[in-house]
Structure 1
Amino acid sequence: MDLWFTEKHAPGVKLSIRVEKQLYCGQSEFQQIDVFESKEFGRFLTLDGYMMLTEKDEFIYHDMIVHVPMAVHPKVRRVLVIGGGDGGAVRELARYPEIEQIDLVEIDEEVVNVCREYLPFTACGFEDPRVKLHFQDGLKFVRRCENEYDLILVDSTDPFGPGEGLFTREFYGNCFKALKEDGIMVNQHESPFYSVDALAMQRAHKRIVQSFPISRVYQAHIPTYPSGHWLFGFASKKYHPLKDLDTKGWKELGISTRYYNTKLHRGAFALPNYVEELLRNVEHID
């Protein structure tokens, strides 16, 4: 009998992946955690039945959430990652020798434990001595911070369940306060394609624009996420994602990537007209 993982992307759309075997199934204090093995996508992680990452395409997401801001900010020393219990963002950050400290705040310790055991291709970053793990609510953690971080990555789940509080105006305002005077925040910004996702994307964008003087959106193609068209938010106190891109400096680091490059960096901020319209519709609404 065939075993398939199926995720609903829209009322009339589902994504199904044939599963070779289930490696882990467990219920944490916060959510259902499953790890599957598939022929096409390798190992993949789901939380409450929603796809978080696959072995085959996780590099796209993690390249774009990390290397875009790192190629813009000239002196990142302290980084806060909120969410990201799979370790992929930490893995990419750990490739930068100038970073001195990486604080990862994950509400669900069991996600980290499961990923360490079953997803070593992302969780390997946890072993870096610069990484400090904090198992608590990211909203509460960042509320206590002021002028501490050069970069904040909001590597959250979707805007419901454990990740719901990470899409509020209060949260983004606290991130602004937690950043140094030239700090950058990057968040996963949902998809603009299906209507439910697009509304969540607009709500997040509206609240970020209200908190940061510089706010831009960029895109990537991630095959296993709803519609495959995914957005990220770039919010900054000082640096512009294109005007302040240090192409020469980033290339001199010699970091090998599978998706990101500085030409793609520029192109990722060129958005389709329908996305630009969705963003404009909420940018000036109080």
Structure 2
Amino acid sequence: MATWFTEKQTEDFGITAKVNKTLHKEKTDYQELEMLETKEWGRMLVLDDMVMTTERDEFVYHEMLAHVPLFTHPSPKTVLVVGGGDGGVIREVLKHPSVEQAVLVEIDGKVVEYSKYYLPTIAGALDDERVRVEVTDGFMHIAESERLYDVILVDSTEPVGPAVNLFSKGFYEGIAKALKEDGIFVAQTDNPWFKTDLIRRVFGDVKETFPITKLYTANIPTYPSGLWTFTMGSKLYDPLQIDAARHHEIDTQYYTKELHNASFVLPKFVKDLTE
């Protein structure tokens, strides 16, 4: 009999995938971690029964979280990634030649350890000489930082367990303090079908903290509903007013310079959440 993994995305809806085998399962100090080998999506990282990334579609999330702000900023040199222990966002960050240092702050070191072992195509860049990995609380790292970073990327899980504080207004105010005077930050902000209240609240909190606040979307099939949002807060640079010459050539599978602007064109029901 086939084994299936089902993520229960609401009380009444879920998605399911056929599992060839379980590669690893462990209760870490922070969450339940599973590495699954699936028929459709390849290897899959699951935390607390929620899909975090898969080999087949990971590029969408990681590219869109990284490249939209990194092409918006004219010269990002120091970049912080909060969460993202699988290393996918770091891999994309390092495609920008201006980046001199990329700091990964992940609270659960086991995510980093097993991603390196089981997901080398995603986590391989974590050993790059420009990368510093700190296994610590991202909320506290932000609180203790001041004007250190050009770009901050919040690659968190959903707002449960250790990630709850990463969706608070105090956290966004801390990010503003940790950014340089022309800094940019982006956070993943879930999906507009099931998390309307979350998106509306986060957008409002960011808008009260940053002079330029924008929402953009991407299609990620293994995430709840498939339609995913990202919220950007920028001190100076408007992502829709960038110089086209800023788009240097990088290797991507989803992000393009044309898609950069197009991703900010929102369906009306999503746009309504920002007004």
TM > 0.5 between the two? yes
Is 1:264 matched with 2:262?
Answer: no
Q: 1-side partners of 2:273 and 2:100: how far apart? A: 38
- The one of 256, 269, 272 aligned to 1:274: 269
Q: 2-side partners of 1:247 and 1:90: how far apart? A: 24
Q: 2-side partners of 1:266 and 1:228: how far apart? A: 20
RMSD across aligned C-alpha pairs, in angstroms?
Answer: 0.9
TM-score by length of 2: 0.98
The one-character-per-residue Cα deviations of 1:108-132 (angstroms, maximum 9, x if unpaired) are 0011001011111111010111110
Q: CA deviation at 1:225?
A: 0.5
Q: Contact 2:17/2:39 (CA < 8 Å) preserved in 1?
A: no
What code does the residue aligned with 1:275 have?
A: V
Q: How does 1:72-151 map to 2 (within 5 A)?
A: 72-151=72-151
What code does the residue aligned with 1:175 have?
A: I
Q: 1-side partners of 2:272 and 2:99: how far apart? A: 37
Q: Which residue of 1 aligns with 2:176?
A: 176
- The one of 223, 227, 232 aligned to 2:225: 227
What code does the residue aligned with 1:148 have?
A: L
Q: Which residue of 1 aligns with 2:188?
A: 188
SS in 2 for 1:122: helix
Q: Which residue of 2 aligns with 1:239?
A: 237
Q: 1-side partners of 2:11 and 2:47: how far apart? A: 20
What code does the residue aligned with 2:263 have?
A: A
User: Which segments of 5 or more consecutive residues in structure 2 lack a partner in the other structure?
Assistant: none
The one-character-per-residue Cα deviations of 1:74-116 (angstroms, maximum 9, x if unpaired) are 1100001000000000001112222111111100001100101
TM-score by length of 1: 0.94
The sequence identity of aligned pairs, in percent, is: 44
Q: CA deviation at 1:279?
A: 1.8
Q: CA deviation at 1:182?
A: 0.5
Q: 2-side partners of 1:203 and 1:35: how far apart? A: 32
